[in-house]
Amino acid sequence: MASLITCSHCGPRPKEEFTVKGDAAIARPAADASEDAWYAYVYLRDNPRGRHKEYWHHTSGCRRWLVVERDTVTHAIYAVADAAAQGETA
């Protein structure tokens, strides 16, 4: 894991200030979506070996939710964006 995450609001900060939530690529289905759609949302994961988008919370900083694109093999960070700016909901 890279030691620094460049927060969109606070700049480069040590990763210990952040809390990881997990996969940001999965989209929450509509409330009346099928059981299969909800099963896939709650339980199934792409779990890629390589680039992975995930939610990180800047717990000890600005307390914003971020979407961090990261490599799960090299741990390099490619991009960071505010979750709200991407229209994402956790």
Partner 1 sequence: MIATSSHGESIMRYSAFSVFLNALRGNKSWRPAWRSPVPKNHYDVIIVGGGGHGLSTAYYLAKEFGITNVAVLEKGYIGSGNVGRNTTIIRSNYLLQGNNPFYELSMKLWEGLEQDFNFNAMVSQRGVLNLYHSDAQRDAYTRRGNAMRLHGVDADLLDRNTVRQMLPFLDFDNARFPIQGALMQKRGGTVRHDAVAWGYARGADSRGVDIIQNCEVTGIRRENGVVTGVETSQGFIGCGKLALAAAGNSTVVADMIDMKLPIESHVLQAFVSEGLKPFIDNVVTFGAGHFYVSQSDKGGLVFGGDIDGYNSYAQRGNLATVEHVAEAGVAMIPALSRVRVLRSWGGVMDMSMDGSPIIDRTHIDNLYLNAGWCYGGFKATPASGFCYAHLIARNQPHETATAFRLDRFARGRMIDEKGVGSQPNLH
Residues that bind partner 1 (CB under 8 A): 1, 3, 15-16, 20, 22-23, 35, 39-40, 42-49, 52, 54, 70, 72-75
Name the DSSP class of 90: -
Q: Which is nearer to partner 1, 69 or 82 (CB)?
A: 69
* Alpha-carbon gap, residue 41 to 8, rounded angstroms: 27
Both structure tokens of 23: 């996969």
Tell me how far, at minimum, the Cβ of 8 lies from partner 1, in Å.
19
Both structure tokens of 37: 């759609």
Q: Which is nearer to partner 1, 21 or 64 (CB)?
A: 21
Tell me how far, at minimum, the Cβ of 41 lies from partner 1, in Å.
10
For the chain, the maximum distance between any two Cα atoms, rounded to a whole number of angstroms, is 42
Q: Which is nearer to partner 1, 28 or 45 (CB)?
A: 45
Run of H or E including 73: none
